[in-house]
């Protein structure tokens, strides 16, 4: 295997792919978590299903639906905030491990 082939296969496994019928990216909880602690505004917009220009308009009006912070002239979006907004933060483990619950029933 050539070095560049291995690199491409790793990226294809880690990050979302495009659906055959459209050019939309399909985001999964795992691919969002693979972004790291935070991501840029354009990527967050893609995850939320909005255009980059709409995301910048919303963030300038302080109406972006996810917590964000500014680093110099760039906006960063915490990955945990994206997962929370999409109700994916407490998703069950993908390895079939049972989730711990605090509720007890008789």
Sheet with 38-40, strands from edge to edge, namely: 38-40, 74-78, 69-71
Predicted local confidence at residue 104, as pLDDT: 44
Rounded to an integer, the average pLDDT of 33-52 is 96
Predicted local confidence at residue 24, as pLDDT: 67
58 beta partners = none
Residue with tokens 């690199």: 7
Look up residue 41 and give its two tokens: 């505004």
pTM of model > 0.95: no
pLDDT in tens, 64-99: 999 999 999 999 999 999 999 999 987 555 555 555
Helix/strand/coil for 47: helix
**How do strand 38-40 and strand 69-71 relate by DSSP bridges?**
unpaired
């Amino acid at each position: 295997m050539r070095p560049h082939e291995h690199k491409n296969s790793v990226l294809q496994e880690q990050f979302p792919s495009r659906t055959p019928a459209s050019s939309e990216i399909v985001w999964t909880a795992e691919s969002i978590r693979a972004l790291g602690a935070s991501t840029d505004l354009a990527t967050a917009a893609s995850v939320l299903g909005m255009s980059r220009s709409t995301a910048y308009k919303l963030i300038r009006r302080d109406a972006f639906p996810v917590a964000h912070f500014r680093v110099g002239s760039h906006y960063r979006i915490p990955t945990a905030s994206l997962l929370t907004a999409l109700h994916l933060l407490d998703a069950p483990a993908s390895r079939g491990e049972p989730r711990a619950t605090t509720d007890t029933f008789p």
